[in-house]
Amino acid sequence: MSDAADRDQAPTAPESIGVLTSGGDAPGMNAAVRAVVRSALKAGITPYVIHEGYRGMVEGGAAIERATSVTVGGILQRGGTVIGTARSDDFRTREGRRRAARHLVERGIDALVVVGGDGSLTGANLFRQEWAGLLAELHDAGDLDADTVQRHPVLKLAGIVGSIDNDMFGTDMTVGADTALHRITEAIDAIHSTASSHQRSFVVEVMGRNCGYLALMAGLATGANWIFIPEHPPETDDWRELLQRTVTAGREVGRRQNLVIVAEGAQDRHGEPITADEVRRVLAEGLGEDTRTTILGHVQRGGAPSAFDRNLATQCGYHAVRELIAADAEDEPRLIGIRRNRIVASSLMEAVHRTQAVAERIAERDYDGAMALRGESFAESFETLKTLVRASPSRELNGTRSLRIALIHGGGPAPGMNTAVRAAVRTAMDGGHQVLAVHGGFPGLRDGRIEELDWMSVSGWVSHGGAEFGTSRRVPGPAELGDIAANLADHVVDAIVMIGGFDGYVAANVLHAARHEHPAFDIPIVCLPLTISNDLPGTELTVGADTALNSIVGNVDKIKQSAVASKRVFIVEVMGKDSGYLAMSTGLATGAERIYTPEEGIDLDGLRDDVRQLTDDIRGGQRLGLIIRGEHADRVFTTSFLWRLFSKEGGEDFDVRQAILGHLQQGGDPSPFDRIYATRFAARAIGYLVDQAERGGGASAMAGLVSGKVAFTPLARFEELLDPDGARRPASQVWSSLRPIADTMQ
Ligand code: ADP
């Protein structure tokens, strides 16, 4: 595996690159095609889009279209694949592949980016292996001259996985899976609201023949009571009774809703399918109440791609072109994907083989083997889900070793706060600990607004936006510390979980720093990163940012659509304070012409160039211009300043409108991604605290994602990890690698 971003250009750049989408369609494929075309153009390579997958390649003619930047304009937000996909039996034959090869070399295409599933990538690899032979046959038949054959000795190949199932090795996420989770979560949230009004049970079938990813993550994101996945069949043959008992116990403790998620390929330990209908029958018989089945089917594939899928696909498309430029003739084909939050290139065929190995393990009923191949975080998520859905704590409180853990919010509200609270409460109580809620953030702690929670007090919170306990940006001053310490001592608090943003981290640090004067503060404090701004040290991403990003991107899509009558430039201001994450990610996901971030600032010369460029483009025929400005991008060049400047320069040629999106960015129900991370961080934070207590230690920490894994960084390092110039953001931010990609896409 290599870091895709590190490879430099080599002189063996291909003459022309073809890009196609193949197999099942997946949302986000358009972003990949757009990125390949624009990256190729920037590198001086001619791009071609190949319509209808391999079928178009075999047919040739108009199906292989020379692309310009305009060919792929306006497609980023569209679902499916605008260049079409198809299954092709002809391509499975050597004769078909020979015709395909001829159609490619005739146009000078000797490098391909294939966006598809494992079938499509296997086909592509075979085609690449046969390439020289196919060209020789075409030469022998008089269809190609010797010079053409000599100029294209190899076919270079890069693959990007487009699949809603998230079923491929070589990438932690396939393009389309996050959007599918959005569709599933929206549908289940809607079902939940009707289910809890009627005390009904629902069984929902989701896609995934060999992969339980969608079922498992949808289970975490919606608080399902039970999931059935192919890799991990129920442990016993008595699963029907067990399911009935669990659901009945849930009803007894006041749970109003039951939801069971079944993956398409779910089975029992003997390999017999477990269908949604059978689960429905088991529930109806066990509970004697109305039970309904919903098979989500193609809804899961549809709709506009999520912000994550757009940006993942864009990054993969960009890096695929770089790989093709850098590859030597004898280099193996590469798969471009995301591993541990970084875009990487790995061996395409190894990924295909390992993917097929999971299906084989399941077919052989080696479920432990299948689960092991899925990796650590899949297994960890499965265990977390099992804890969260229990009807009541599995262990009785045990006076001697149980901890009293206080949960508190700090900083601005962020979607996912309630989700994190629910996971923290349930994980702690499941381990025999007591949980206290502090209402109203640190001022609430000063005033003693503390309440003990029970298991059902957080029922249904997985999907609720906002912060039920309330949050505050206020950082306690020296005069308040005495009261805070007294309240912690009165309630015998052993540990604190602070779930919030920058000011919450600062407040936690104030307590931590004063632990020598106030012994009540000498307890472990863990901070969970919950803020839309993604501006915290100790983590590569914060919970809440994905929800905000999706809400911004959805709104910018609508703003763009409103420009039907006249030529228009929009200047959209987004939140994020001193971090440009939201601005940059929004810009990438909406195809903005310019993105202004606080990290880079705005200077007069740059602004003059930008005004001139955009004015020229629009006078030259472009209909729409989009500028994204982070709220703290510059003190002087404010959004209204930009608006006046562009309006003056645009004159009669175009309208300029500004939109300051404001607080809608902090609201809304959390996205699936934010629910999953809120849950994982909270569950791990409780584990960390229990660990500390068992070791007799009291180390405070910031929980977060570091190189794609949940990790704990000492709280004492908070300040040291911040920007040295005093901005409220970390000194190093992984997403800064997006800038060259955004520039290439313009
Ligand atoms: P997916 O890429 O989503 O797994 P399929 O398995 O249906 O979808 O593959 C899509 C297309 O890729 C097929 O219709 C066929 O043209 C081509 N293909 C798949 N497997 C092979 C193979 N072993 N040899 C040649 N072409 C293949």
CA distance 379 to 370: 11
The pTM score is 0.95
* End-to-end CA separation in angstroms for the chain: 29
Q: How far is the CA of 39 from the centre of ligand 1 (A)?
A: 26
Q: For residue 121, give the ligand 1 atom closest to its CA.
A: 2
CA distance 451 to 413: 20
What is the maximum alpha-carbon separation in the chain?
A: 92
Residue type, 504: G
SS3 243: helix
In tens, the pLDDT along 241-282 reads 999 988 888 878 777 778 999 999 999 999 999 999 999 999
CA distance 99 to 90: 10
Q: Is the CB of 643 under 6 A from ligand 1?
A: no
Q: How far is the CA of 355 from the centre of ligand 1 (A)?
A: 14
Q: How would residue 391 be classed by pLDDT, with cut points 50, 70 and 90?
A: low
Residue 165: active-site member: yes
In tens, the pLDDT along 517-561 reads 999 999 999 999 999 999 999 999 999 999 999 999 999 999 988
Torsion of CA 265, 269, 270, 272, to 10 degrees: -30
In tens, the pLDDT along 298-308 reads 999 989 999 99
Residue 8 pLDDT exceeds 50: no
In tens, the pLDDT along 294-353 reads 999 999 998 999 999 999 999 999 999 999 999 988 889 999 999 999 999 999 999 999
Q: How would residue 396 be classed by pLDDT, with cut points 50, 70 and 90?
A: low
Residue 197's pLDDT is what?
67
Give yes or no for a contact between 525 and 555, defined as CB atoms under 8 angstroms apart.
no
Q: Is the CB of 54 under 6 A from ligand 1?
A: yes
CA distance 428 to 445: 20
CA distance 612 to 631: 23
Residue 465 gets the label, from left (phi > 0), alpha (psi -120 to 50) or beta, of: beta
In tens, the pLDDT along 186-206 reads 999 988 877 666 678 899 999
Minimal-distance CA residue to ligand 1 atom 14? 87
CA distance 112 to 148: 17
Q: How far is the CA of 89 from the centre of ligand 1 (A)?
A: 8
Residue type, 172: D
Residue 395's pLDDT is what?
63
Sign of the alpha-carbon torsion through 254, 256, 262, 263: negative
Q: Is the CB of 87 under 6 A from ligand 1?
A: yes
Minimal-distance CA residue to ligand 1 atom 18? 123
Q: How far is the CA of 151 from the centre of ligand 1 (A)?
A: 28
Q: How would residue 671 be classed by pLDDT, with cut points 50, 70 and 90?
A: very high
Q: What is the mean pLDDT of residues 140-152?
A: 96
Mutation probe of ligand 1 site: the residue of 122, 125, 355, 356 with most atoms within 8 A of C-beta:
122
- All structural domains of the chain: 16-174+305-361 (3.40.50.450), 178-300 (3.40.50.460), 404-528+671-717 (3.40.50.450), 545-665 (3.40.50.460)
> Which ranges of 106-259 does DSSP label H, i.e. alpha helix?
118-140, 146-151, 177-198, 213-222, 239-252
Minimal-distance CA residue to ligand 1 atom 20? 119
If you average pLDDT over every residue of the chain, what do you get? 93
Give yes or no for a contact between 500 and 444, defined as CB atoms under 8 angstroms apart.
no
Q: How far is the CA of 160 from the centre of ligand 1 (A)?
A: 14
Q: Is the CB of 116 under 6 A from ligand 1?
A: yes
The catalytically annotated residue of 25, 110, 165, 669 is: 165
Least confident of 90-94, 569-573, 658-662, 679-683: 658-662
Mutation probe of ligand 1 site: the residue of 92, 98, 121, 161 with most atoms within 8 A of C-beta:
92
Q: Which of 35, 156, 31, 46 is nearest to 107 (CA)?
A: 46
Minimal-distance CA residue to ligand 1 atom 16? 88
Residue type, 444: G
CA distance 7 to 125: 22
Q: Is the CB of 558 under 6 A from ligand 1?
A: no
Residues pairing with 628 in the sheet: 572, 595
| pLDDT above 70 coverage of the chain, percent | 96
Q: For residue 116, give the ligand 1 atom closest to its CA.
A: 2
Give yes or no for a contact between 165 and 13, defined as CB atoms under 8 angstroms apart.
no
Minimal-distance CA residue to ligand 1 atom 15? 88
Q: Which of 493, 494, 525 is nearest to 509 (CA)?
A: 525
C-alpha gyration radius of the chain: 27
Q: How many residues in total does the chain contain?
A: 746
Q: Is the CB of 471 under 6 A from ligand 1?
A: no
Mutation probe of ligand 1 site: the residue of 52, 95, 120 with most atoms within 8 A of C-beta:
120
Mutation probe of ligand 1 site: the residue of 20, 21, 22 with most atoms within 8 A of C-beta:
22
Minimal-distance CA residue to ligand 1 atom 7? 23
Residue 698 pLDDT exceeds 90: no
Q: How would residue 398 be classed by pLDDT, with cut points 50, 70 and 90?
A: very low
Q: Is the CB of 23 under 6 A from ligand 1?
A: yes
CA 20 to chain centroid? 24
Q: How far is the CA of 87 from the centre of ligand 1 (A)?
A: 7
